[in-house]
């Protein structure tokens, strides 16, 4: 009888250990999938407000999460379960956001045992469980892809349509101070629009030839001005507009906003 006890005890311990590891894996994958779902939802909301929403580094994800936390109540906002990192591809204009493995170190996507083949046209990867054998004996230096994100598309061709009402064009505008939107704000938004109108009038009046009006769209950030839609103007003219606009805005009061998307009607 003692012999049987000698053999049964290790078997029971092994079964218990395998059961515990199986439970642990299920819980781990559930939390990982929850992070992937949260990030997808957050990015969908965020990219509707920020044209350059594509995260290129960790700080961009932090900013996005801070924005969600500020603009949504606690029933929508949830904290991510695990640490993450971002791998930006400047050629494909996409970012891969991935969770660090159980070793909590960034292994730069060298090992992805939990990710399957792409499952949709946007290149999202499936997240699945390993076999219990692979899970127990697999090394912990793996990263798990949570999502693949692409830059939002700004439809410049619609903005250049002369039949587009001014309301529709202005609806493309965005004005933010940190996480707070100032679009439609009774105090600051009129100031912002007046500043743009002043530049339009000054620039157009400075030209010797007028021609046709062109719709150009820009992004303003503290780092400078970027052009989204160039109105199909020649590069030298666009560069001159950007230079004059940068100089003009630098002499204006911009203390009430730190991010803006806006259009100008210029000859």
Task: Yes or no: say if 128 and 183 are a contact pair by the CB < 8 Å rule.
Answer: no
Closest residue by Cα to residue 223 from 52, 82, 13, 43 = 52
The C-alpha atoms of residue 110 and residue 171 are separated, in whole angstroms, by 43
Determine the pLDDT at residue 200.
Answer: 95
Determine the pLDDT at residue 236.
Answer: 94
Q: Is the pLDDT of residue 5 over 70?
A: no
- What confidence tier does 43 reach under pLDDT thresholds 50, 70, 90? very high
Task: Yes or no: say if 37 and 124 are a contact pair by the CB < 8 Å rule.
Answer: no
% of the chain residues with pLDDT over 90 = 53
The C-alpha atoms of residue 184 and residue 190 are separated, in whole angstroms, by 8
- HSE value, Cβ hemisphere, 13 Å, CA-based, for 81: 15
Determine the pLDDT at residue 37.
Answer: 95
Determine the pLDDT at residue 103.
Answer: 81
Supply the DSSP string of 31-79, one letter for each residue.
Answer: HHHHHHHHHHHHHHHHHTT-TT----SHHHHHHHHHHHHHHS-TTT---
Supply the DSSP string of 76-139, one letter for each residue.
Answer: T----SS-EEEEEETTTTEEEEEE--TT-S--TTS--TTEEEE-STT-PEEE-PPPHHHHHHS-
Determine the pLDDT at residue 187.
Answer: 96
The string of pLDDT tens digits covering residues 138-161 is 666 789 999 999 888 777 766 555
Task: Yes or no: say if 107 and 145 are a contact pair by the CB < 8 Å rule.
Answer: no
Question: Of 104-108, 113-117, 152-156, 191-195, which gets the smallest average pLDDT?
Answer: 152-156
The C-alpha atoms of residue 33 and residue 137 are separated, in whole angstroms, by 22
Determine the pLDDT at residue 24.
Answer: 86
């Amino acid at each position: 009888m003692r012999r049987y006890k000698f053999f049964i005890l290790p078997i029971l311990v092994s079964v218990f250990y395998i059961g515990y590891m199986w439970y642990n894996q299920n819980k781990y994958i559930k939390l990982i999938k929850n992070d992937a779902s949260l990030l997808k939802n957050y990015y969908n909301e965020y990219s509707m407000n920020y044209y350059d929403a594509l995260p290129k580094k960790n700080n961009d994800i932090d900013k996005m999460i801070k924005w969600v936390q500020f603009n949504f109540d606690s029933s929508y906002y949830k904290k991510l379960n695990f640490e993450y990192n971002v791998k930006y591809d400047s050629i494909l204009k996409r970012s891969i956001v991935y969770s660090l493995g159980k070793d909590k170190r960034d292994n730069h996507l060298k090992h992805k045992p939990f990710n399957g083949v792409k499952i949709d046209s946007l290149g999202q990867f499936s997240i699945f469980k390993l076999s219990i054998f692979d899970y127990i004996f697999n090394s912990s230096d793996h990263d798990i892809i949570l999502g693949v994100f692409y830059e939002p598309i700004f439809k410049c061709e619609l903005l250049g349509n002369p039949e587009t009402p001014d309301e529709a064009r202005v609806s493309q505008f965005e004005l933010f101070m940190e996480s707070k939107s100032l679009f439609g704000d009774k105090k600051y938004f009129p100031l912002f629009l007046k500043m743009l109108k002043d530049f339009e009038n000054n620039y157009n009046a400075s030209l010797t030839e007028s021609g046709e009006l062109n719709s150009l769209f820009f992004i303003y950030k503290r780092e400078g001005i970027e052009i989204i839609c160039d109105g199909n103007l020649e590069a030298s003219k666009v560069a001159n507009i950007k230079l004059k606009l940068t100089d003009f805005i630098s002499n204006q009061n911009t203390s009430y906003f730190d991010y803006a998307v806006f259009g100008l009607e210029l000859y």
